[in-house]
Amino acid sequence: MNKRTMIVSLVVALLLVAAAGTVWAGGGAEREAVYPSRTVSVTVPWAAGGGTDRVARFWADAFQQELGVPFVVENRTGGGGAVGHSAGARAAADGYTITMVTFELATLQSMGLADLTYAGYDYILQMNEDAASVIVRADSPYQSIQDLFDAIEANPGQVSFSGTAVGGVWDLARVGMLLEAGIDPDDTLWIPSEGAAPAITDLLGGHVDVITNSLPEAQSQLEAGNLRALAVMSDQRNPAFPDVPTLKEQGIDWSGGTWRGFAVPAGTPENVRQVLVEAGEKIARSTEFENFMADAGFGIRLRLGDEYAEFVENEHYTWQTIIREIGF
């Protein structure tokens, strides 16, 4: 082989290697563009067996069926939701960790539980919202929300409320309602409880005057006629409780309650987010999801992408104002 032939052969070889590299890189890019291609971790900031966990596991199964890879729930509990929410936000922004974020994300920083805000996430979809309600015993003298407000103003420090721990979602919903009505929340008593169930027991036993929690949580006692709901803190009436008026119908421009949805770490590629949004919307509009939520007593509220992000941002500033005003 002469020198010229050797040079030509070398050039051809280099071109073949370059072409092969291009094909391999292209194949790699193509493979990377196909999301998801491996197991996705679903971070849940609350304990196994609870409401958020139940919803998350339904969605993990549904996403797996829709997208063809395992979605595995991981419960990261502690710190009033701070541990799980923080872990989800710190994960790699590649779509392989998604987090079921809840109402508490909007309050973690203001409550001093974590240096984390809505900005730590990009938002996929919200699928649940359960408004707070105002509930009294069937024999209570309060026949309307205005009756209750009048009693508070006439007897500061005498009317007692319960529903959850101090600073929990139902406590904050109460505070927001009273502030909107022009009533100092300190003119009421808040009796802490471990949740809605013990608060309902205390209400039935006459140990508190009013509870604030979701209507589904008190459904059995409402249907039995042992309790009455004076109002629900939502924009529209709950179809499952059509006789319960909203606060807005009664002149109080306030809504509040808890919610759940999926988010991914801030900076997750748009194409990855779009895959999750499209799959999520399909699942959220399915009969299977509607039946699951109805059986569990959870409310459905669908917000996608940017709409959900805007909602969470508004929640952050709304609750920040309330928390600072009341001094939690």
Q: Where are the alpha helices (DSSP H) in the chain?
A: 3-33, 51-67, 82-90, 145-154, 169-180, 196-204, 219-223, 270-284, 287-296, 305-326
Q: How many other β-carbons are positioned within 10 Å of the β-carbon of residue 194? A: 9
Spatial separation of the C-alpha atoms in residues 52 and 102, rounded to whole Å: 8
Q: Taking CA 154 as the corner, what is the angle to CA 152 and CA 155, rounded to the nearest 5 degrees?
A: 65
Place of tokens 């909602």: 311
What are 133-183's pLDDT values in tens digits?
A: 999 999 999 999 999 999 999 999 999 999 987 888 899 999 999 999 999
Cβ contacts of residue 31 below 8 Å, gap of 6+? 37
- The structural domains of the chain, ordered by start, are 40-130+257-326 (3.40.190.150), 131-250 (3.40.190.10)
State the average pLDDT over residues 186-203.
Answer: 90
pLDDT score for 216 = 85
| pLDDT tier, 197 (very low <50, low <70, confident <90, very high otherwise) | confident
Give yes or no for residue 238 having a pLDDT over 50: yes
Give yes or no for residue 11 having a pLDDT over 50: no
32 vs 287, residue with greater confidence:
287
Spatial separation of the C-alpha atoms in residues 172 and 319, rounded to whole Å: 8
Place of tokens 């003298």: 141
